[in-house]
Amino acid sequence: MKLIKRTKSRKRGTGSKEEEVLPSPCFLLGAPCRLDTKPGGRSIERNRMHTHITLDTPLPYDGRQLTPHWIYRTFGLRGDALVAFAGPCQVDLAHMVDLEDVQAQAPIFSPHMLHIIAEFFQGDLHLTVYRQRLLIIIAGEMLASALARPVHRRGDDLYLDRADGTPGKLSVSIATTSPTSTLIHAGFNITTTGTPVPTVGLADLGIDVASFARDLVQRYVDEVQDIWLARCKVRAVG
């Protein structure tokens, strides 16, 4: 348990001060956090997601990873967390979360993808869809800047023009809910051999996957943290 020293004054003739040690608010709220100390000794609580990136060993994704506490069971990260890993993707209809794809009889396949899974323990599905879109928008901005060419977003999917001028799908993404949390999966094609729809991949685009993964995770977590701090600095009105 993280403890914070708070000083309270007592009205005594000597004007003495007494310190009491209290539990950190982040501990009481069950939120991941760290304490930053500003000049003058003031401690600032910062809500921050746990993260982990593993790209050396392929880890397949088949839809069953999008379940509560999979990140905790697999990587030991408890609380709000985001992990990035690489591996093949094959989601059959039985494990498909997107019912529109189920109705269209459109399973997902990619020989090699960069996968992002995030889990949040506060907020509803509506909020998590916003968080999902934020992740995709940041990825699109990063790619557009790196490639100096347009990256098109349709909902929660990214597209880039292929060599023949036709659009190629770069990513898949979904947000869902569980009894204990909400979850996001996003997958970005690295290679595209055998995909069921026209696609583009990070390797085809000359994008370094490790650098892209690291920067995407960092920028997303920074943005989520900044949103948290923004909501903590305003006073109520009305």
Say whether pLDDT at 22 is over 80.
Answer: no
Mean pLDDT, residues 176-200 taken together: 96
State residue 3's pLDDT score: 43
**With 0-12 CB in 10 A as exposed, 13-18 as middle and 19+ as buried, what is 11?**
exposed
State residue 202's pLDDT score: 98
Say whether pLDDT at 218 is over 60.
Answer: yes
Say whether pLDDT at 23 is over 70.
Answer: no
State residue 71's pLDDT score: 98
State residue 40's pLDDT score: 55
Contact by Cβ (8 Å): 193, 142? no
The label of the residue with tokens 């593993």 reads 54
Mean pLDDT, residues 137-146 taken together: 98
DSSP annotation of 193 reads: T
Query: What pTM value is reported for the model?
Result: 0.80
Say whether pLDDT at 7 is over 80.
Answer: no
State residue 159's pLDDT score: 97
State residue 44's pLDDT score: 47
Mean pLDDT, residues 54-68 taken together: 95
Mean pLDDT, residues 209-236 taken together: 95
Say whether pLDDT at 27 is over 50.
Answer: no
Fold (CATH) for 50-227: BirA Bifunctional Protein; domain 2 (3.30.930)
State residue 41's pLDDT score: 52
Chain Cα centroid distance, residue 237: 31
φ/ψ (deg, to 5) at 197: -130, 160
Residue-wise pLDDT for 93-119, tens only, equals 777 777 677 777 777 899 999 999 999
- Other Cβ atoms closer than 10 A to 135: 25
The label of the residue with tokens 């583009």 reads 200
